[in-house]
Every structure is written in structure tokens, then in C-alpha cells.
Amino acid sequence: MTGVERPPGADPLEQRQVALIDLLDRLLSGGVVLTGDVVLSIADIDLVRISLRALIVSVSARNPSPWETSTRPEDEP
């Protein structure tokens, strides 16, 4: 599953290997949330994300932001 081969620059979004963590940021916390038929509720997805974070984050609780960053999403216009 390496994606489709295209000549570079053929598309505005040309194929490139993106960092998995950047992708997971978007696929697990972004995107339209619909209630599909296989009901992993939004809360479950959040649980997945949190348990994944637990898997890949060793020190998050002891390694807080250097300053108080608001984690609240900003209003979109």
C-alpha cells in the first residue's frame, strides 16, 4: 500500500510519505465524525487515541507544555 505512482508535480497534492504522527493527528482527531453502522462511538475513538498516546507517549504527564497552551480549538470564521 504505497499509494499510486504519479509523476511529481502532476497534482496539487502530490504523493509523498508523510509522518505517521502528523497523519494520526488528522485522522484520529480531525475529519468529519459520522456515526457509522459499526459503532465505535466518538468516545471510543477518543479512547483509542488516548490508549495509543499511552503506548507512544512515555512521559506526557511529566512533560507538560513549556507554557500554558490553550488546547481549545480556536473559533473558525
Q: Which residues bind another protein (CB under 8 A)?
A: 1, 3-4, 11-13, 15, 18-34, 36-40, 44-46, 48, 50-61, 63-67, 69-77
48 vs 54: CA distance, rounded Å = 10
Q: How far is the CB of 46 from another protein (least distance, A)?
A: 7
Residue 52: all three cell numbers together: 495509543
Asked whether the beta carbons of 11 and 5 are under 8 A apart, the reply is: no
Smallest distance, another protein to C-beta of residue 14, A: 8
What is the spatial distance between Cα 30 and Cα 24, in angstroms, rounded to a whole number?
Answer: 9
Q: What is the DSSP-derived secondary structure letter of residue 76? A: P
Residue 39: CB minimum distance to another protein, A: 7
